[in-house]
Structure 1
Amino acid sequence: MAEEGKLHIVLLPWFAFGHMIPFLELSKLLAQKGHKVSFVASPRNINRLPKTPPSFFPKLNFVEISLPHTEGLPENAEATADLPLDKIQYLKKAYDGLQQPLTRFLETSKPNWIILDFASYWLPPIAANLNISTAYFSVFTAPSHCFFGGSEHAFDRTEPEHYTVTPKWIPFPTSIRFRHYEILRLSDGFSENASGVSDLTRSFMTFDGCDLIALRSSFEFETEWLNLLQQLQRKPVIPVGFLPKKIDNDKEDADDTKSNSWKVIKKWLDKQVKESVLYIAFGSESTLSHAESTALAHGLEQSELPFLWALRNGKLPEGFEDRIRPRGLIWTSWAPQLRILSHDSVGGFLNHCGVSSVFEAIQMKKPMILLPLFLDQGLICRVLEEKKLGYPIPRDELDGSFTSESVAESVKLVMGEEEGKMYREKVKEMSGHFADHELQDRYINQFINHLQHHGCRLP
């Protein structure tokens, strides 16, 4: 028998780690408040998630639903990180095959709410038939959603150039728009793929079908964008905070591979001068072209700054590692990013404008050098530039190319020059909102309060 006033909430993320990890963090916060949480994913994805402390059980349950065999999808490929970009369409097709087994689970478990992702556009109608409310938890930013507009704007823009100007429905001054090269890299999301549904269509159908929209955000950070998104979507938009991680809760066993990685990295960082090291990382799924990685490497070399580069993909110029040793450390396996950013010797973060990386940088008071690569990262870059939280490496407007000189000049500006002081000061000023766990707790309480009072099936 359910506890009085307590909810049963099912969470179904899209199978990309940039989505699954925030969904897991939200799940843990809901479970901490005493609600029953069912986190649904494929078996291999569940096994690869960060280990959840025993204290969360039995409130937090992991529900395994296997992906159906799908032609074109390699065996054991269950997340976007397992696939090249051109194969992700087959993962979306397999993901759509979760409809029947998920429906059976919902029929027997009878949850109060389902928190879903952009990819499961087919879920709101299923939930409505079962008298279950739905919340779309978006890992994308409010400005990005506002840029694409409401349903009436979904297909107004028919040419790439239409996305290179700020849309007319944004009523306040902003520089948010795509560069020409960014929209060309994103154009695959506008067309049908092997699943038969474009990413744009998935997003708009999910927006239209859900009962509310939850965002990893706060009114302290982007009031005007959250208010505009609610106007555009005509339904409640509720920020859930930034889901900041506590480093102390991420300890590994002494013999764990991740713990050993941190020991090696920390030993190197401990030898460096305070705020002198540039940390470089582009997430687990972003890939630099050969020309980009070469320009970046030569730029780091020219900057003469100490740096730590978490390099998951890409080929370095011949002899580069020998020339930069011991000033630079190239790390090619898993890197404990939050721990690295928390270290006193790190003074800046060169990244791809991935949401989690951006939030962690602000939380740890690290100014950013920005190099957006795909998806909505270009839009995030514009917002960070407006807020003086990061400085974008200058690039060619048409093809996105950049020079080693622009890399060297950008990192030196942000890391130490007088002209970059505003970035260093602004990120420290803003960090309080991102690291404030009491503020985070208030946002989660407000979110839960809405779920408790506005669902189809009240607890």
Structure 2
Amino acid sequence: MNPNVKSKKFHIAMFPWFAFGHINPFLLLSNELAKRGHKISFLLPNKAKLQLGPTNLHPDLIAFHTLSVPHVDPLPLGTETASDIPLSQTHHLATAMDLTRHQVESILQRLKPDLVFYDSAHWVPELAQKIGFKTVCYNVVCAASLAIALVPAREVPEDRPLTEAELAEPPSGYPSAAVVLRQHEARALSFISLEFGKGVRFYDRITTAMRKCDAIAIRTCQEVEGQLCNYIGAQYEKPVLLTGPVLPEPEKTPLDDRWAKWLDRFGPGSVVFCALGSQWVLEKDQFQEMVLGFEMTELPFLVAVKPPVGATTVEEALPEGFEERVRGRGVVHGGWVQQMQLLGHKSVGCFVNHCGFGSMWEGLMSESRLVLVPHLGDQILNTRLLADELRVAVEVEREESGWFSKESLSRAVKCVMGGDSEVGGWVKKNHAKWRETLASQGFMSGYIDDFIHKLHEI
């Protein structure tokens, strides 16, 4: 390759799906690209811009371009991101995103970027033909979920959702044990054959997005999901570019005094921290079963979850007598917490989480033992990867209903926290090995540098 081409600085437009679990990873990648001198034009709803301003580390090179998100019934007025609505309404938000197409086209026509990164907006390649730019379908979910549910070789009937038996059966040649799904997990993947935006199924949206792009990019690494990435490339006959995990810069903001002082009361690695993501709202009986499970561990714990359905605060939904019984060693908090800083505190020794992709990588990079309670399709597949293949975590056993009991939660936490537990021993050993690999000198930066090199090739 001509050395002048290698040194060329790109102008890249970013257009992620309107959910912070997608917008944030796109911005993390933008920060890494801008650090190396590339110019970024970031298209996003106005609400998201207001929230993300402080995390733009290179405002001289990363410019936000806001979109006016049209109102779509029955969404509440002012809905702009998935955080504004329950999960059951996100298909209407997809319709709203599609209605921004003319705004997006106008902005891209004016900017004339070299490349456009997108994920859910499957129509971006059509704009590329008119305006003249290359397209990268950037996926910020695990390769396992792309491979199992979305490869073109998998037939999805147009007139009905897939059955649980069909969902549990792997696509031909699928190279991962993550496909071994239980009944309730197969059910959680049925959304792929449902409508996601007016007149388009989720399956068709995502497969079209990957089939029509110039290159597929995935936020993962060869060491963790290499076989799956190769499989996806073979299925789509496209180059597959890996960015690595692309984690946030080390947090400079100290942990809030309230939590720092509370955690300082306990010994190193003794506290159980639980966080289940920004969108998961539990039913009241599920919430109560969960907090009783933490009580049963007899360990100090901090649980950060949204108030359950029908409750204004977490306090009003707690089981009778719970607060008195755990006072001094247990806290249930209904607001946002600094997850990265909490995981970095010396007293936190166990991280119970939903295994969303961001939490998956943050958990891997932490020193905490990992206990997983997945809820949605990609979280289930992330859990399969961590618990069954890498063997760095323990999954909480589920009942036939799909939820877990207080006993199974307590058992899983004690299993990884117990000093004489055989399972806890190999989880700790495997986790330490992977953390050492991911944190090794030049590992993350090497992926970004190689990613940019491959962008030049397309």
- What is the TM-score with the length of structure 1 in the denominator? 0.91
Instruction: Tell me if structure 2 keeps the 8 A contact 1:11–1:116.
Output: yes
Counterpart of 1:138, as a letter, is N
Match of 2:272 in 1: 278
- Distance across 1 between alignment mates of 2:44 and 2:451: 23
Structure 1: distance between partners of 2:266 and 2:247: 27
SS at match of 2:21: helix
Say whether the 8 Å CA contact 2:144–2:178 is kept in structure 1.
no
* 1:403 aligned partner, one-letter code: S
* Preserved CA contact (<8 Å) 2:143 2:228: yes
Aligned position for 1:324: 326
Q: What is the CA–CA distance in structure 1 between the aligned matches of 2:194 and 2:178, rounded to whole Å?
A: 26
Are the aligned partners of 1:175 and 1:382 in contact in 2 as well (CA < 8 Å)?
yes
1:297-344: CA deviation from partner (whole Å, max 9, x where unpaired) = 111111101111112232432332232111112222210000111111
- Asked if the contact 2:218/2:243 (under 8 Å) is kept, the reply is yes
**Is the contact between residue 279 and residue 350 of structure 1 (CA under 8 Å) also seen in structure 2?**
yes
TM-score between the two structures when normalised by the length of structure 2: 0.91
Q: For residues 32 and 262 of structure 1, what CA distance do their matches in structure 2 show?
A: 29
Shift of 1:154: 4.0
Q: Which residue, 147, 162, 167 being the options, matches 2:166? A: 162
Secondary structure of the structure 2 residue equivalent to 1:232: helix
SS at match of 1:247: coil
Aligned partner (choices 290, 295, 305) of residue 301 of structure 1: 295
1:268-417 maps to which residues of 2 (within 5 A)? 268-314=262-308, 315-386=317-388, 387-396=390-399, 398-416=400-418, 417=420
Which residue matches 1:66? 68
Question: Does 2:432 align with 1:428?
Answer: yes
2:342 and 2:264 mapped to 1: Cα distance? Answer: 11
Q: Could you tell me how far apart the structure 2 residues matched to 1:199 and 1:304 are? A: 43
Q: Which residue of the partner structure matches residue 138 of structure 2? A: 137
Kept after mapping to 2: 8 A contact 1:149/1:169: no
Q: Residues 446 and 173 from structure 1, CA distance in 2 versus in 1: closer, same or farther, beyond 3 angstroms?
A: closer
Shift of 1:45: 1.1
SS at match of 1:412: helix
Find the aligned partners of 1:10 and 1:190 in 2 and give their Cα distance: 30
Q: CA deviation at 1:282?
A: 0.3
Contact 1:180/1:399 (8 A) holds in 2: no
Q: Which runs of 5+ in 2 are unaligned?
A: 1-5, 309-316
Task: Please say which of residues 77-86 and 25-34 is displaced more in the overlay.
Answer: 77-86
Instruction: Report deviation, 1:44.
Output: 0.8
User: 2:49 maps to which residue?
Assistant: 46
Shift of 1:19: 0.6
* Equivalent of 1:453 in 442, 452, 457: 457
Letter in 2 for 1:221: V
Q: Distance in 1 between matches of 2:416 and 2:55?
A: 37
Q: Which segment is superposed worse, 120-129 or 34-43?
A: 120-129
1:240-296 per-position Cα deviation (integer Å, ceiling 9, x unaligned): 011122324x42xxxxxxx6x721111111111111111101000112222322221
Contact 1:38-1:61 at 8 Å conserved across structures: yes
Q: Do structure 1's residue 148 and structure 2's residue 142 form an aligned pair?
A: no
Find the residue that maps to 1:369 and give its secondary structure. strand
Question: How far apart, CA to CA, are the structure 2 residues paired with 1:35 and 1:25?
Answer: 14
Equivalent residue number for residue 418 of structure 1: 421
Q: In the alignment, which residue of structure 1 is the partner of 2:115?
A: 113
Q: Does 1:233 align with 2:227?
A: no
| Cα distance change on mapping 1:262 and 1:243 into 2, 3 Å | same
Which stretch of structure 1 is more off in the superposition, 97-106 or 86-95? Answer: 86-95
Mapped pair 1:222 → 2:228: no
Give 2:15's aligned residue: 12
Q: Which has the higher contact order (CA 8 A, sep 6+)?
A: 1
The whole-number CA distance in structure 2 between the counterparts of 1:177 and 1:128 is: 40
Alpha-carbon distance in 2 for matches of 1:307, 1:148: 36
Q: Name 2:312's counterpart in structure 1.
A: none
Check whether the contact 2:149–2:192 (CA below 8 A) recurs between aligned residues. no
Unpaired stretches in structure 1, ≥5 consecutive residues: 252-258, 455-459
Question: In the aligned structure 1, how far is the partner of 2:339 from the partner of 2:30?
Answer: 21
Verify the 8 A CA contact 1:15 1:41 in the aligned structure 2: yes
Give yes or no for contact 1:8–1:36 (8 Å, CA) kept in 2.
Answer: yes
Residue type of the partner of 2:260?
K
Aligned AA (1:434): L
Shift of 1:433: 3.2
Q: 1:154 to 1:166 in 2, by over 3 A?
A: closer
Query: In 1, distance between residues paired with 2:299 and 2:361?
Result: 24
Q: Does the CA-based 8 Å contact 1:220-1:433 persist in structure 2?
A: no
The amino acid that maps onto 1:143 is: A
Partner residue in 1 for 2:313 = none
RMSD: 2.0
Q: Kindly tell me: are residues 37 and 370 of structure 1, through their superposed partners in 2, closer, same or farther at Cα, counting changes over 3 Å?
A: same
* Inter-partner Cα distance in structure 1 for 2:339 and 2:53: 14
Q: Please show how residues 20-99 of structure 1 align to structure 2 within 5 Å.
A: 20-49=23-52, 51-52=54-55, 56-99=58-101
- 1: CA distance between counterparts of 2:28 and 2:290? 33
